[in-house]
Chains A and B, each alone.
Chain A
Amino acid sequence: MADDEIILADLSDDELVLQMHDDLYDGLKEEIEEGVNILIARGWTPYDTLTKALVAGMTIVGADFRDGILFVPEVLLAANAMKAGMFILKPLLAETGAPRMGRMVIGTVKGDIHDIGKNLVAMMMEGAGFEVRDLGINNSVEKYLEALDLDKPDILGMSALLTTTMPYMKVVIDTMKEKGLRDDYIVLVGGAPLNEEFSKAIGADAYCRDAAVAVETAKAYMLRKHNAISA
């Protein structure tokens, strides 16, 4: 059916949303922008557009990434397409006061330049409705603490790709403990050489093996946090 041109505007809402899931999967940025604009023009709320078209689509991408069907290049393209859709929705979401999932500060630790995984997590978290401040690479404990103080996030995410830099996560967590700040935040860690045991040993809340798991974990912790507050 390769020669059947798909006209997004001709699709019903349900079909359009499914097509957008495919287009996200294929990393088609312009098609996603078009799809978002059509849904908004049809009277969809920005929040529904975000969750049903973009977030649901990225959930499929995340699952296939987790399962070893998609790899980093495909996920980066998909996340890029999602970002383009988000760019349209962001101001609209702010106007309509749509619910936020939570806030996260994320960064790669000192000495480490690697940010592929960290960028993926940041994008997928945004896609899932979190507000994300990305500190970039090579973050000292001072930089993390400053961002925590400034942004008051729910979650701190730290990433490291090297076995030579991963122990720095403990330096950050230990400093948070010293200052009595540790329990104010959910600390999630990730990166290729890490594992569950390491995350426990350094005192993080959870290890996230990839961006999809990071989103699932963040949502679960936020839910727990809300329950704790309302209890």
Chain B
Amino acid sequence: MADNALSKLLSTHDWLMADGATGTNLFNMGLSSGEPPEMWNIDKPDNIRKLYKGAVDAGSDIFLTNSFGGNASRMKLHGLQGRVREINRVAASLGREIADAAGRTVVVAGSVGPTGEIFEPMGTLTHTSAVEMFHEQAEGLKEGGADVLWVETISAAEEYIAAAEAARLAGMPWCGTMSFDTAGRTMMGLTSAQLADLVETLPNPPIAFGANCGVGASDLMRTVLGFAAHGSSRPFIAKGNAGIPKYHNGHIHYDGTPELMAEYAILARDAGVRIIGGCCGTMPEHLRAMRDALETRPTGPRPTLENVAAQLGGFSSTSDGTDGAGPAPRERRGRRG
């Protein structure tokens, strides 16, 4: 058994609760749109402490650092590409401080989001440059005391692979989730089954893999059921959005209630998910409702897609590409050799 905090917790718990939203919480503290949230690690560290503490106090066993966009490609937008290491180090060290004061084991997961660029041949990103960017970020997070790297919202297999290699270079255990937001697949067309296969081909597979963000809690559950149906034995992660974003008086509000997220947490647990959390729109009150439900409600049989739709609402597409029931591909007139 690996000696990192996350593996240890997983070995003694049936499920763990991760955190909720970062962006939504920071907006509520006054972050303005277009501003890089990662700079608050340095400029407004008390807000970041408050963000982390909100998750810990609501019962999260794991929380993600405020470093989602902290790679050179994203920070360059703000002319901050020279401060990647510092921004990530501080993101993790603030996390370490809050986790160590929690009075129980809380895992500091160093968030690593996508570069926002496309791989060759369609784009300009290469494996080498992606690994380099992720590695730089990983070293910062490691220096600041992150327990694991938490790669999230990825849509391309190449980017997932590059992040895995960066984790290996940094000597860090890691977790990795993708965002399945396009007809049940990632933007790049990956299905849940394809991600489940992909993780097993890596030289340093993640501790856990799964899905985050995407469309809503129902779609996310369908993806998770796809992992389970594929027969994966590695722990799954589910971090779904609290409903759909709505716009009210100048800020974004997600329409998922704490009650809905509690239902989602129970469905996720019964589907065999080991790490359950939220994503955009998931506030401390949602997390408290989830924790309470997970602790008090009895386990049930693995839910079906019908159960999910009945409790969380319908899906954004009829198929997610794993059941052969999707729309038929176009017939060609004749194939080229």
Contacts and interface: CB of A to CB of B under 8 A. Distances in A.
Contact of A68 (B116, B251, B327, B334): B327
A111 B188 contact: no
Interface residues of A, number: 56
B41 interface: no
Interface in B101-126: 116-118, 122-123
B189 interface: yes
Most buried by A among B181, B187, B328: B187
Interface string B301-337: 0000000000000000101010000111110111111
Given A22-B333, A164-B23, A111 B245 contact: no
Given A68-B319, A111-B77, A168-B33, A163 B116 contact: no
A109 B34 contact: yes
Contact of A113 (B26, B74, B187, B333): B74
B317 A68 contact: yes
Contacts of A140: 34
B327 A69 contact: yes
B251 A167 contact: yes
A227 B336 CA distance: 45
A60 interface: yes
B177 interface: no
B220 to A, nearest CB: 14
Given A22-B332, A71-B187, A167-B250, A113 B245 contact: no
A60 B24 CA distance: 38
B329 A26 contact: no
Most buried by B among A2, A76, A109, A162: A162
B36 A197 contact: no
Interface stretch (A3-11, A126-134, A215-223): A3-11
Interface in A20-69: 22-23, 25-26, 28, 31, 60, 64, 67-69
Interface of B: 23-24, 26-27, 31, 33-37, 73-74, 76-78, 116-118, 122-123, 155, 181-189, 244-248, 250-252, 280, 317, 319, 321, 326-330, 332-337
